[in-house]
Amino acid sequence: MKLGAAVPVLNEWRFLPAVAGQLLQVVDRLVVLRGTRAQSGAPTTLTPVPPLDPRIEVVEAEWRSEQDTRNAGLDALADCDWVLCLDSDEILLDADLGKLVNLCEADEHSAISAHLLTYWKTIEHRVEPPENLTAPIAVRKGARFTGTRYVDAEPHFSDIWLRHLSYVRTDAELREKLRLFGHAHEIVPDWYDKVWLGWDADHDLTDLHPTRPPVYRQAVHDPDPELRRVLERHGVDLGEFRA
């Protein structure tokens, strides 16, 4: 079995060393899909590509949607039997990475989905309850993405948990994320000031999601030592994040 991995990225490089470092333990090829435009269509200044592991291949293009980007990754890895599809801020811990590889090797499914543990501001806080959402993180050859996180194959809902660090950002990074991401037009008015900044003064604040508030009911203090070990093992600097 030949395993590939595809990781889309615009300017979000902070966690990529850990994402890629984990995947490179098990995959034969890893492609970073470097988009040249924001999904929101907002003007974008691309940051330089930082030094990467020499095993990483960078494919650069102007894709118009997340679906197109992910399918470009499948095309680039057409020689692989399975492609692992993670974002540049989504971490698989060692045990879950092993489970995923075993499921791919069993080859009983066309796609494999994981549950999400979403972290808030730091890796010491996460959304509770976890999102009622699964994401396809492995796709067998022949399957295609039909939406942001939908595939044209019946996914196997595994017991794997994906550590989602999309909201582990500095204030400046979060503002840029909101400006560039594909649902920018759906953000709740004044969400940045009232919720993102407001939570710093009131950790009991609820309904935190920027476009669908109840999806992130609350953020609870729940340190994840294994996640910290993975990030530090791959050289991710967590010093900027405080809550």
User: Mapped to the 3 state alphabet, what secondary structure does 133-167 carry?
Assistant: CEEEEEEECCCCEEECCEECCCEEEEEEEEEEEEE
Range 35-48 burial, b when 16+ CB lie within 10 A, else e: bebbbeeeebeeee
pLDDT of 42: 78
Q: In 10 A of CB 154, how many CB atoms?
A: 10
H or E stretch at 59: strand 56-61
pLDDT of 242: 59
Q: How many CA atoms are closer than 13 Å to the CA of 192, on its beta-carbon side?
A: 13
Contacts of 85 (CB under 8 A, 6+ apart): 5, 6, 70, 73, 136, 137, 138, 139, 145
pLDDT of 243: 54
Q: Are 158 and 103 in contact (CB under 8 A)?
A: yes
pLDDT of 145: 96
Closest of 8, 15, 13 to residue 235, by C-alpha: 15
Q: If DSSP codes are grouped into helix, strand and coil, which group holds residue 233?
A: helix
Q: What tokens appear for 96 in the block?
A: 């879950």
**How many contiguous H segments (helices) and E segments (strands) does the chain have?**
7, 12
Backbone phi, then psi, for 42, in 5-degree steps? -65, 150
Residue 59 to residue 76: CA distance in whole angstroms: 8
Q: If DSSP codes are grouped into helix, strand and coil, which group holds residue 93?
A: coil
Strand 150-151 vs strand 145-147: parallel, antiparallel, or unpaired? Answer: antiparallel
In tens digits, the chain (243 residues) has pLDDT values of 999 999 999 999 999 999 999 999 999 999 999 999 887 777 888 999 999 999 999 999 999 889 999 999 999 999 999 999 999 999 999 999 999 999 999 999 999 999 999 999 999 999 999 988 899 999 999 999 998 889 999 999 999 999 999 999 999 999 998 888 777 788 999 999 999 999 999 999 999 999 999 999 999 999 999 999 999 999 998 877 655
